[in-house]
């Protein structure tokens, strides 16, 4: 079976981009990414819109070890987007502002919009992540394919 995580970017700003995240058509949470740049700046640029396969990264290093320490046996690997042009190690993870992402996708239940510069921040990230992670992990553990589709605007 193929499952779709659909992210619709709807509020691009000077420092960040807020989006809406659906899983198999159901609203899950909001997303936050870095801002768009025509020329990539490492750690400060969102990934290109497109379709990406999602897998678990289970290496015993970096973020995976930190998440294992934070979440214990609940965490079985990082939600990892595959084959992103010009980027490596793009994950869906916890965070609240563009300072917490280096091209990755953050998730949260609430958004705070920056009315002057666009974009904004998200809140209640750990709670949103755990709910999304549980769903996605069940799909991957069952051997299902998970595709992340990132779209620009509504």
Query: How many alpha carbons fall within 13 Å on the CB side of residue 104?
Result: 20
Lookup: tokens for 70: 């934070």
- Provide the pLDDT for residue 154: 62
Domain count, the chain: 1
- Provide the pLDDT for residue 112: 85
Lookup: tokens for 11: 């509020």
Per-residue pLDDT in tens (0 to 9) along the chain, 154 residues: 999 999 999 888 888 999 999 999 999 999 999 999 988 988 889 999 999 999 999 988 888 999 999 999 999 999 999 999 999 999 999 999 988 998 999 999 998 887 766 678 899 999 999 999 999 999 999 999 999 999 998 6
Q: From residue 66, how far is each of 34, 79, 93 by CA, in Å?
A: 22, 14, 12
Domain region containing 139: 2-152
- Provide the pLDDT for residue 14: 86
| Alpha helical stretches, state H, 18-148 | 62-71, 125-141
């Amino acid at each position: 079976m193929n499952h779709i995580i659909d992210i619709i970017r709807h509020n691009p700003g000077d420092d960040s981009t807020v989006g809406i995240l659906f899983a198999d058509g159901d609203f899950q949470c909001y997303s936050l990414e870095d801002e768009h740049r025509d020329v990539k700046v490492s750690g400060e640029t969102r990934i290109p819109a497109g379709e990406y396969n999602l897998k678990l990264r289970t290496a015993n290093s970096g973020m995976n070890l930190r998440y294992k320490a934070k979440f214990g046996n609940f965490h079985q690997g990082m939600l990892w987007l595959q084959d992103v042009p010009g980027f490596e190690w793009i994950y869906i993870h916890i965070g609240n502002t563009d300072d917490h992402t280096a091209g990755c996708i953050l998730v949260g239940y609430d958004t705070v919009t920056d009315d002057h510069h666009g974009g904004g921040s998200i809140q209640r990230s750990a709670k949103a992540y755990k709910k999304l992670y549980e769903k996605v992990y069940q799909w991957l553990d069952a051997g299902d394919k998970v595709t992340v589709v990132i779209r620009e605007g509504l």
